[in-house]
């Protein structure tokens, strides 16, 4: 264990100045990854629990109890269904209810996707900082060698190249996990959004089957010209 610790300490000591900003990028990335993972896991559990509790109400077609439940429950899936129930007070057309629920989805989705995109940016920053540290390390190496005593050139060149390579390696060590976390969080987000969309479709289908709403485009009254204008 002590050998691993001493190796890590030596790696940082030989890494040069750019090791520290890369370490800050790693810390920020890990904090974002942990926060997003916990948030998405919690929201997934809340959605499952909320829809399981809502499903018996949905089968009874008791709109008042459904609306009461969606107002009391703050899970994203009930907020989307609540938008559909609110629209059903105005119209019974499935298309209108579906559009209202789509609007609810657009309001809900940013909460799942926020900050996840920063991980790919942080991974790129870590890689670029590693490359910049390498270039500066090599510049320092050749500058030192040019004015150094011939007996010391070999040791100076070796130390400077070690700094350059350590910086590049650490930049890649940070970037690769951050990209992996970014991909995992994106997949988790997509799965949650897909489950909400599936629940919304199930709600619409059951409401249509129970005649609470009816399929088909809304009928536009008036002259053919007015109907054409409304369709546009």
pLDDT, tens digit, for every residue of 73-129?
888 999 999 999 888 888 888 888 889 999 889 888 888 988 999 999 999 999 999
Q: Are 55 and 205 in contact (CB under 8 A)?
A: no
**Alpha carbon distance, N-terminus to C-terminus of the chain:** 72
Q: Are 136 and 152 in contact (CB under 8 A)?
A: no
Q: Are 47 and 192 in contact (CB under 8 A)?
A: yes
Q: Indicate whether 230 pLDDT > 50.
A: no
Query: Of 5-9, 29-33, 133-137, where does mean pLDDT reach its minimum?
Result: 5-9
Q: What is the CA radius of gyration of the chain?
A: 29
Confidence of residue 212 (pLDDT cuts 50, 70, 90): confident
The first and second tokens of residue 148, run together, are 């150094």
- State phi, psi for 59 to the nearest 5 degrees: -75, -20
Give the total residue count for the chain: 232
DSSP annotation of 220 reads P
Q: What is the 3-state secondary structure (H, E, C) of 42-72?
A: HHHHHHHHHHHHHHHHHHHCCHHHHHHHHHH
The first and second tokens of residue 71, run together, are 């107002």
Q: Measure the CA–CA gap between 167 and 30, rounded to whole angstroms.
A: 19
Looking at the chain, which runs of residues are DSSP E strands? none
The first and second tokens of residue 97, run together, are 């209810």
Confidence of residue 146 (pLDDT cuts 50, 70, 90): low
Q: What dihedral angle (degrees, nearest 10) is formed by the CA atoms of 197, 203, 208, 213? A: -100
> What is the reported pTM?
0.79
The first and second tokens of residue 192, run together, are 């949650």
DSSP annotation of 149 reads -
């Amino acid at each position: 264990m002590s050998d691993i610790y001493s190796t890590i300490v030596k790696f940082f000591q030989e890494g040069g100045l750019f090791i520290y900003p890369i370490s800050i990028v790693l810390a920020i990335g890990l904090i974002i990854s942990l926060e997003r993972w916990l948030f998405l896991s919690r929201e997934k559990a809340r959605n499952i629990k909320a829809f399981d509790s809502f499903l018996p109400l949905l089968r009874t077609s008791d709109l008042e109890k459904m609306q009461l439940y969606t107002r009391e429950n703050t899970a994203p899936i009930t907020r989307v269904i609540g938008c559909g129930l609110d629209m059903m007070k105005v119209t019974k057309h499935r298309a209108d209810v579906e559009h209202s629920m789509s609007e609810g989805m657009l309001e809900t989705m940013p909460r799942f996707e926020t900050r996840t995109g920063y991980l790919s940016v942080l991974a790129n920053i870590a890689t670029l900082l590693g490359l910049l540290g390498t270039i500066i390390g090599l510049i320092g190496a050749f500058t030192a060698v040019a004015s150094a005593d011939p007996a010391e050139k070999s040791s100076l060149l070796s130390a400077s190249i070690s700094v350059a390579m350590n910086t590049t390696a650490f930049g890649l060590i940070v970037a690769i996990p951050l990209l992996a976390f970014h991909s995992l969080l994106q997949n988790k987000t997509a799965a949650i959004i897909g489950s909400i969309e599936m629940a919304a479709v199930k709600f619409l289908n059951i409401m249509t089957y129970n005649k609470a709403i009816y399929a088909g485009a809304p009928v536009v009254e008036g002259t053919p010209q007015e109907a054409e204008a409304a369709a546009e």
